[in-house]
Structure 1
Amino acid sequence: MKAGLQFLAALTALLAAAAAQAAGADLGQVDKQPTNWVAISMFAVFVVGTLFITKWAASKTKSAADFYTGGGGITGFQNGLAIAGDYMSAASFLGISAAVMASGYDGLIYSIGFLVGWPVITFLMAERLRNLGKFTFADVAGYRFQQAPIRIFAASGTLVVVAFYLIAQMVGAGSLIKLLFGLEYWMAVVIVGALMMIYVLFGGMTATTWVQIIKACLLLAGVTFMAFMVMAQFGFSPEALFARGVEVKTQLAVNGGKTAEDAAVIGRAIMGPGGFIKDPISAISFGMALMFGTAGLPHILMRFFTVPDAKEARKSVFWATTWIGYFYVLIFIIGFGAITLVLTNPEFADTAKGIIKGGGGSANMAAVLVAKAVGGNVFYGFISAVAFATILAVVAGLTLSGASAVSHDLYATVIKKGKADSASELKVSRMTTLALGLVAVVLGIAFEKQNIAFMVSLAFAIAASANFPVLFMSVLWKDCTTKGAVIGGFLGLISSVGLTVVSPSVWEAVLGYPKGSAWFPYSSPALFSISIGFFGVWLFSVLDRSPQAAKERAAYKSQQVRSETGLGASKSSGH
């Protein structure tokens, strides 16, 4: 923890210097935001408070089981709040509100898509995961399979999903710190990366869980107040809010040089679908990514191993779905609040320009600026600190799942063949955390201009194409074999990543190739890559007639009994 305290001192000095720089900007440069000392103070309080939680958690983190799953002693209610905290990420809070501000009704597809994945987990996965699993989803997928190949696939899938998901969080964090402190974007991303590494390195799952719970409570309270204040401006009439939104978008179009007739069409477009996703294949593909991706996200699946038994796992999903559903309804109101309160406010003119041009960077701060509009500097400071907490907690959870994939799946199971001691596994996990932190910082800087909700949708597409087919088929289909799961899983992973890279969202928007030059015409590859993944698992399992495959099929009965009843599963984490 000594290293953590030394880093905190260095971070405090850096932030103090940034604040002084911003304060200097107040006197000499009118184009910079004035220093918001309230926001900075709340930010500092949160950072110090969570570091103390980390110090406390570090004293309890003695073994690999403690590091990965908090020793399996977290209750269903606590875990439900922590899952909600994990899920209500920067993409949800900042990205969806920005998407609603930019596209209106179309932004709602994110809320619905993210939410409807939960019934899949509730009814098909939660109980089975807890009964079969230990630390990672590979424990479940590979329960009756050969360990080395399935672990190599699971670690590959986990690390790719974690990398894409991390990008979105780092972009959100960088934009937020830049707005608050007036720092250069890259410096902001480096600070977030360093803080996240401290949480995970020292506190493990216990610290990550408690940071998530506290952050979820603060975020739910914050968005409730924001939505209440937005609706209060319109006499609690949704119709009045939507009518004002149409009016604002129409006026902005007129100001942008459109004729009155064209401007009216643009204004009304925010109340109907079609502006964001232009054709049925894109809509189906995008929806499938959001829906099935939830059941393939490694950092969400990991949370089911932190509870004592399957009953608490089910309870976790119930509470998580409740909080997440409530949150997404409010985010839609806040997104329309951003149209009516941010785009019409001269103070936020830069953001308005960013939206009109379709820019991602400053637009991601829509929700934070709504907070300033409805609650002044104090509430702005509170929401900024909560948004930062949101990002830090999610990044910590993601990093933990990536670290566990390398240390538990690759090092302990594949390299050491199950004979690794807890201390060496923990050491590898911490080294992986440092590596992932560096990767997150580099990618966060590279993808600065992207809408973060969209970046997360790409991570969902990869999780849905690689992890979900393998998990689903290995648990529910008796004829699934190691060969089928591994080849099918890799086909889903490679096709989803490949199609994502050659889609307009990366080929044109990130790599800078001319518009219309992308090899794959749809932004989300899920419809195609999920189909490839499932087909691969089925085909190579059916073709596998080896003696090993016969043993794996025969072992399905005992797996089914344990997954359905919990017989043989321990009450705390572990087989």
Structure 2
Amino acid sequence: MVNFLAASENSEINPVLNTAVFVIFVAITLYVVYRVSSGKSSRSDYYAGGSAFNGRQNGIALSGDFLSAASFLGIAGAIAINGYDGFLYSIGFLVAWLVDLLLVAELLRNTGRFTMGDVLSFRMRQRPVRAAAATSTLVISLFYMLAQMAGAGALIALLLNVHSRWGQSLVIAVVGLVMIFYVLVGGMKGTTWVQIIKATILIGSVVLMTVFLFGKFGFSISNLLDSAAYRSPLGHKLLEPGAQYGKSGVTKLDFISLAVALILGTAGLPHVLMRFYTVPNSQEARRSVVWATACVFVFYLCTLVIGFGATALVGTSEIKAAPGGENSAAPLLALHIGGTVLLGLVAAVAFATILAVVAGLTITASASFAHDVYANIFKKGQADPADEVRVARRTALGIGVAAILGGILANGQNVAFLVALAFAVAASANLSTLLYSLFWKKFNTTGTLWGIYGGLACSVLLVLFSPVVSGASNSIIKGVDFHWFPLTNPGLVSIPFSFLCGFVGTMLGKDKADPRKYAEMEVRALTGIVPGNQKA
């Protein structure tokens, strides 16, 4: 077997080609962003692309926003190393879109305008609820962003053969600057087209790799799985449940906790929720989720083949020995089956994935601060729209710089921890309050604040005192042990706790819900009708 380092020495991995392919992608998308940017200062244009995208376009963009570097590289690697248990991540992410379709998409589109804070504050006291919603959005976006930017360091080491920390930091900065340009110039419209292009290339790439793989194994899934089991130290246990999460009662419980966070967290991710405002009506919002689900289904089905294919053709030992560990499975497989050309395409897709996801997170965080905090808290709803957009652009610049610095500092850290925290916080802080706001007549401001801050504090606290941070061989802080929470994901505890906080806060709160506001919200959520008989 030719190992990764030998491949590098024989120039099978060509950094120049990989860089060239990525530069071509950046050049094309920068041109697209420049052409679609209208130069207007309208809030609707900057925040929601003028609500001018149809369901198909927004659905593809949604999948591009959702399928991060962790999905592309992490899940394929998890399947290659852990087999069946690794594929359970894909199932959790896919099922999550059904929650979006049934509970969130249409209702959110009808009751809000630009941010999640619009929905949560609809029948509550504006200032405290918008402040809580903005805090939750900024925390989730920051952690998700750090995960993507830190992941860029590992990708650079693997795909461009840049191993010095200064070199990786430089490319992280370049990725961040390009992302900032997307957001500042194109707003939501430009960012959406970047995500559409990225999703098309990403799904096309995994389909291409899947077809190549099937060809090598006579288009037989049985041959592929048998070869993977033969090359894996787990043998045929690779194809059975329990390799990663079946070792003890705690690990089984940990899997349930992770699954709950993944399935429910997606419906609370701010950058996913904000996409429903880029379509003109609730029907297109539903179509968006259907298209996104279809794209995600195809993608994750292909990652199953790619993961087992990496085990069969590359081998577990070579994957673990490569820079990036499990994350190297898909690129190494591309090198084995398609040489430098296919690896160059994978390199471009990996970087494009980071660019698109971070751009989506940046515009979401900047919109939440400008619209919820600046316009509705500082200016008490009287902000000039042009000033609000200027604040959003300045916030995007600040967030982009923070993401670059954070990514450089977090380079080499446990990226999975940051991603898991983002999903756990989203499910804990956002989902409970969204569902209570939409479906519970008695829900009030006190319940909203207790739900958001209670879920936020609980999820962060449990992660800080979990084996993710200390007490395990792969913890972020080595050599110390101050953990007391046994699970690596807090979702099983923090999500029910946030619902409990919302309920108790509502029962104990002195402020009473306005039944007229709830009736108006219910009509808007279910029909899209707003006062004046206009469509939302």
Scaled by the length of structure 1, the TM-score of the pair is 0.86
- For 1:262, the equivalent position in structure 2 comes to none
Given the alignment of the two structures, is residue 219 of structure 1 paired with residue 181 of structure 2, yes or no?
A: no
Q: Any conservation in 1 of the 2:65–2:357 contact (CA below 8 Å)?
A: yes
- For 1:426, the equivalent position in structure 2 comes to 389
Of the three residues 321, 330, 333, the one matched with 2:302 is 330
Given the alignment of the two structures, is residue 365 of structure 1 paired with residue 328 of structure 2, yes or no?
A: yes
Deviates more, 1:180-189 or 1:90-99: 180-189
> Residue type matched to 1:534 in 2?
F
Cα–Cα, structure 1 residues 437 and 370, in superposed 2: closer, same or farther, change >3 Å? same
- For 1:555, the equivalent position in structure 2 comes to 517
> Residue type matched to 1:239 in 2?
S
Q: Any conservation in 1 of the 2:18–2:160 contact (CA below 8 Å)?
A: no
Given the alignment of the two structures, is residue 524 of structure 1 paired with residue 507 of structure 2, yes or no?
A: no
Deviation at 1:569, TM superposition (A): 7.7
Q: Any conservation in 2 of the 1:175–1:362 contact (CA below 8 Å)?
A: no
- For 1:15, the equivalent position in structure 2 comes to none
Q: Any conservation in 2 of the 1:361–1:451 contact (CA below 8 Å)?
A: no
Cα–Cα, structure 1 residues 306 and 47, in superposed 2: closer, same or farther, change >3 Å? same
Does the residue aligned with 1:539 lie in a helix, a strand or coil? helix
Cα–Cα, structure 1 residues 104 and 445, in superposed 2: closer, same or farther, change >3 Å? farther
> Residue type matched to 2:479 in 1?
P
> Residue type matched to 1:527 in 2?
L
Measure, in 2, the Cα distance between the counterparts of 1:243 and 1:517: 43
Deviates more, 1:30-39 or 1:381-390: 30-39
- For 1:444, the equivalent position in structure 2 comes to 407
Measure, in 2, the Cα distance between the counterparts of 1:122 and 1:34: 42
Deviation at 1:411, TM superposition (A): 0.6
Q: Any conservation in 2 of the 1:215–1:389 contact (CA below 8 Å)?
A: yes
Q: Any conservation in 2 of the 1:368–1:383 contact (CA below 8 Å)?
A: yes
> Residue type matched to 1:535 in 2?
L
Q: Any conservation in 2 of the 1:132–1:569 contact (CA below 8 Å)?
A: no
- For 2:255, the equivalent position in structure 1 comes to 283
Q: Any conservation in 1 of the 2:159–2:331 contact (CA below 8 Å)?
A: no
Measure, in 1, the Cα distance between the counterparts of 2:487 and 2:332: 32
Measure, in 2, the Cα distance between the counterparts of 1:208 and 1:146: 32
- For 2:530, the equivalent position in structure 1 comes to 568
- For 2:93, the equivalent position in structure 1 comes to 114
Cα–Cα, structure 1 residues 474 and 240, in superposed 2: closer, same or farther, change >3 Å? same
Deviation at 1:240, TM superposition (A): 1.8
Deviates more, 1:508-517 or 1:288-297: 508-517
Deviates more, 1:481-490 or 1:174-183: 174-183
- For 2:465, the equivalent position in structure 1 comes to 502
Measure, in 1, the Cα distance between the counterparts of 2:176 and 2:399: 9
Deviation at 1:441, TM superposition (A): 2.3
Of the three residues 291, 298, 303, the one matched with 2:270 is 298
- Report the RMSD for the aligned CA atoms in angstroms: 2.4
Cα–Cα, structure 1 residues 571 and 275, in superposed 2: closer, same or farther, change >3 Å? farther
Given the alignment of the two structures, is residue 542 of structure 1 paired with residue 510 of structure 2, yes or no?
A: no
Listed as ranges, the matches of 1:26-105 within 5 Å are 30=9, 35-105=14-84
Does the residue aligned with 1:290 lie in a helix, a strand or coil? helix
Per-residue displacement from partner, 1:357-403 (whole Å, max 9, x unpaired)? Answer: xxx83431321221221112112111211221111011100111111
Per-residue displacement from partner, 1:426-478 (whole Å, max 9, x unpaired)? Answer: 12212221222232223323443456456423211110000111111111111
Pairs aligned (count)? 521
Q: What stretches of structure 2 of length at least 5 have no aligned partner? A: none
- For 1:236, the equivalent position in structure 2 comes to 219
Measure, in 2, the Cα distance between the counterparts of 1:451 and 1:222: 27
Q: Any conservation in 2 of the 1:95–1:452 contact (CA below 8 Å)?
A: no
> Residue type matched to 1:467 in 2?
N
Of the three residues 146, 156, 159, the one matched with 2:125 is 146
Q: Any conservation in 2 of the 1:60–1:66 contact (CA below 8 Å)?
A: no
Given the alignment of the two structures, is residue 474 of structure 1 paired with residue 461 of structure 2, yes or no?
A: no
Q: Any conservation in 1 of the 2:64–2:353 contact (CA below 8 Å)?
A: yes
Measure, in 2, the Cα distance between the counterparts of 1:454 and 1:108: 19
Cα–Cα, structure 1 residues 127 and 500, in superposed 2: closer, same or farther, change >3 Å? same
Of the three residues 221, 241, 249, the one matched with 1:273 is 241
- For 1:14, the equivalent position in structure 2 comes to none
Q: What stretches of structure 1 of length at least 5 have no aligned partner? A: 1-24, 251-265, 355-359
Q: Any conservation in 2 of the 1:342–1:352 contact (CA below 8 Å)?
A: no
Per-residue displacement from partner, 1:53-97 (whole Å, max 9, x unpaired)? Answer: 221233344322111100111111100100011111111111111
Cα–Cα, structure 1 residues 30 and 280, in superposed 2: closer, same or farther, change >3 Å? closer
Does the residue aligned with 1:419 lie in a helix, a strand or coil? coil
Of the three residues 427, 431, 437, the one matched with 1:464 is 427
> Residue type matched to 2:527 in 1?
T
Deviates more, 1:390-399 or 1:39-48: 39-48
Deviation at 1:33, TM superposition (A): 7.2
- For 2:380, the equivalent position in structure 1 comes to 417
